[in-house]
């Protein structure tokens, strides 16, 4: 992890660019996969399961027996931990339920809005070396609170055609039974366009590798809704002289181990903190099973030693991190300075992994600077908001002239007549 001392602001924009390691011919590869699924359906999914996962499948849908068997393989400790996480995440997301208020904008003109759940949603959960059962919790719970009628889960199998037991146990705990053994871009295509076995959904959620991300980007261009265009995970830490170097290093490594294309950033006013963190990184990384992945991530990461905390926040807002940790004394006093961030962790004991698993907030967040314009997944992600209005005769008489004048100015006389004809009859 390279340390830069008092880097001039003219170079900041360059530092805000994320590492990017695209697969060869990514666009055409993913387009080919999507087209195969659109035209060949289940047959293509079975072929891709063999090609990409090494699995020979007889069917795509997970059976109840498979869920029961998975439950037996999950330890009691993990079951208890999942139960705590589900409870906390449910509590927090229930607070996002709002009572819509009816408003009389003009006497006789009543307007309001109603939240309506998206009927069919698809959840993509990565498997492989890091099966993200925690992401299933983060996506399924707000979907259920919102009232989504159908929740589909797609996740890749291993070479034996088996889904990770923790994912199946979590799905069973949450009551999700429509589970399919398919991963990657092909899973996104199946949920977007449908096959004989997997019926299409209205919106697709969930992270994945660059093939999954590209597939979501392509189907969005075709009018299919997605949660957000997520990329590799990232964290930015702002640390002052009170920061514990071991804590900061652990937080940086918790994101660096996600993938070689993940990026971690440290901003501090203290050169000695930067150097202590550098040493702590070296001490801690050797004990990690994914040390080689974390090391590669650190090679694309950096630390800036800046003259003031104000400069640190200025850079952070330019960078717009997915996760922002304030390893500062009295961090609450800096909250108003944060403009761009996916999720913020305040103080020396608010480790980012708490948000990843069990504190209650959602860990599906905008990356690659998109926190400038996107929010993380929440209850709002699973609902549509429909507006209503009721205009009485008195209301139209009060508002009618305004509508007529505006419609005539835009030369839309049929719009004007829709009011004028009513007003004329009211005047009889």
Pseudo-torsion of CA 416, 419, 425, 428, nearest 10°? -80
Q: Which of 156, 198, 195, 183 is nearest to 37 (CA)?
A: 195
Task: Give buried/exposed letters for 166-189 (b at 16+ CB in 10 A, else e).
Answer: bbbbbbbbbebeebbbbbbbbbbb
Which H or E run contains 104?
A: strand 103-106
Q: Residue 116 has which token pair?
A: 């309506």
* Biggest alpha carbon–alpha carbon distance for the chain: 88
Catalytic residue among 234, 257, 258, 323: 323
- Helix then strand count (H, E) for the chain reads 16, 14
Helices (H), ranges, 286-412: 291-299, 309-319, 352-357, 393-409
Say how many C-beta atoms besides its own lie within 10 A of residue 127's C-beta.
Answer: 20
Q: Residue 371 carries which DSSP code? A: G
C-alpha angle with apex 167: 197 to 69, nearest 5 degrees?
A: 85
Is 323 a catalytic site residue? yes
Is 322 a catalytic site residue? yes
Tokens 């007889």: give the residue. Answer: 58
Catalytic residue among 322, 348, 352, 404: 322
Q: Which of 311, 317, 387, 325 is nearest to 355 (CA)?
A: 325
For residues 317 and 339, is the Cβ–Cβ distance under 8 A?
yes
Residue 123 to residue 201: CA distance in whole angstroms: 10
Find the length of the chain.
428
Active site residues: 322-323
């Amino acid at each position: 992890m390279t340390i830069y001392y008092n880097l001039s602001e003219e170079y900041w924009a360059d530092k805000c660019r994320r590492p990017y390691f695209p697969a060869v011919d990514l666009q055409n590869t993913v387009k080919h996969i999507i087209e195969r699924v659109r035209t060949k359906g289940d047959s293509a999914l079975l072929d891709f399961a063999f090609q990409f996962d090494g699995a020979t499948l007889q069917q795509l849908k997970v059976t109840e027996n498979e869920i029961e068997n998975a439950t037996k393989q999950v330890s009691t400790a993990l079951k208890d931990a999942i139960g705590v996480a589900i409870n906390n995440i449910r509590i927090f997301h229930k607070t996002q339920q709002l009572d819509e208020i009816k408003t009389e904008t003009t006497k006789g003109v009543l307007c309001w809005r109603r939240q309506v759940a998206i009927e069919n949603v698809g959840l993509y959960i990565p498997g492989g070396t890091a099966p993200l059962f925690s992401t299933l919790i983060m996506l399924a719970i707000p979907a259920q609170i919102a009232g989504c009628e159908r929740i589909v889960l797609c996740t890749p199998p291993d070479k034996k055609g088996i889904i990770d037991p923790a994912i199946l146990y979590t799905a069973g705990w949450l009551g999700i039974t429509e589970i399919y053994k398919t991963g990657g871009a092909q899973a996104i295509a199946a949920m977007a366009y449908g096959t004989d076995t997997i019926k299409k959904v209205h919106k697709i959620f969930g992270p994945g590798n660059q093939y999954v991300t590209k597939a979501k980007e392509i189907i969005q261009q075709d009018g299919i809704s997605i949660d957000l265009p997520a990329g590799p995970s990232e964290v930015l830490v702002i640390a002052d002289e009170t920061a514990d170097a071991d804590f900061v290093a652990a937080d940086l490594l918790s994101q660096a181990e996600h993938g070689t294309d993940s990026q971690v950033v440290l901003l501090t006013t203290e050169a000695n903190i930067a150097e202590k963190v550098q040493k702590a990184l070296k001490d801690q990384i050797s004990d990690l099973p994914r040390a080689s992945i974390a090391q590669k991530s650190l090679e694309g990461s950096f630390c800036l030693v800046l003259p003031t905390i104000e400069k640190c926040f200025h850079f952070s807002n330019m960078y717009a991190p997915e996760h922002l940790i304030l390893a500062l004394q009295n961090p609450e006093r800096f909250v108003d300075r944060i403009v761009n961030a996916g999720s913020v962790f305040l103080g020396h004991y608010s480790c980012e992994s708490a948000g990843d698993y069990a504190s209650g907030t959602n860990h599906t967040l905008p990356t690659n600077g998109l926190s400038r314009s996107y929010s993380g997944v929440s209850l709002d992600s699973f609902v549509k908001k429909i507006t209503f209005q009721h205009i009485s005769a008195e209301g139209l008489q009060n508002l009618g002239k305004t509508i007529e004048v505006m419609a005539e100015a835009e030369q839309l006389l049929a719009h004007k007549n829709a009011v004028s004809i009513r007003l004329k009859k009211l005047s009889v």
